Amino acid sequence: MELAEWQEIPLFFEAASKLVNRISIIRGNHDGNLEALVPKYVEILPTSGFKINHEIGMIHGHAWPKPEILSCRNIVLGHLHPIITIKDALGFSKSHRVWLRTKSNGKPLAKGLLNNMKIKFTDDVNKIMKQKFNVKLENPNLIFMPSFNDILSGRTINKQLKSDRLGKSYIGPILKSGAAQLDEGEVYLLDGSYLGKLGSLRSFS
């Protein structure tokens, strides 16, 4: 940790606490020693995330979520930091931080989670999720949050890669499961402007 972080992070949370009644943080893969930096009233949650009713599961994205997250209709996650790179006719390119919203198949998600937990299962993952965790498996919408920091880099999601399957080309267990229907994913700029589906934006990279 830099000296500036020890000074600025507590000040940030002090300012934020004046705007909201509750602050919760889902620990990410760069959040070591976080407890020493944040005030005691800030709740630090595990990387496996938490649920808001039965509608929304919130996770960081670098690790598998807890089983009950797979019962949510929507999963919101970071970690990927999606970017769209658009090249013009002269060969000049510009990158934009974006939101990515896409559908997923719950069965590959469940299979990946069960494998990670070293739980043996048959092809009927719906049954094992219900028996083991009392989870009714959904096919959740995946909402990938952009980085809101101008300095942070991200992953260009419309670039033509050797493998178009993000499980090999990108990061995070949910993408590696192959469950995300990426080409049908909707891409939005930070201001909410709709750019189109990811599959159609690949030709502009």
> 161-196 pLDDT, tens per residue?
444 444 444 578 999 999 999 999 999 999 999 999
User: So what's the pLDDT on residue 162?
Assistant: 40
User: So what's the pLDDT on residue 167?
Assistant: 44
User: So what's the pLDDT on residue 202?
Assistant: 84
User: So what's the pLDDT on residue 18?
Assistant: 92
User: So what's the pLDDT on residue 171?
Assistant: 78
**Residue 102's closest CA among 155, 72, 141?**
141
Could you give the angle at which helices 106-116 and 125-133 cross, rounded to 10 degrees?
Answer: 60
* pLDDT-flagged residues of the chain (< 70): 1, 160-170, 205
Report how far residue 85's alpha carbon sits from residue 104's, in angstroms, rounded to the nearest whole number: 24
Label residues 69-79 b or e (16+ Cβ within 10 Å = b).
Answer: bbbbeebbbbb
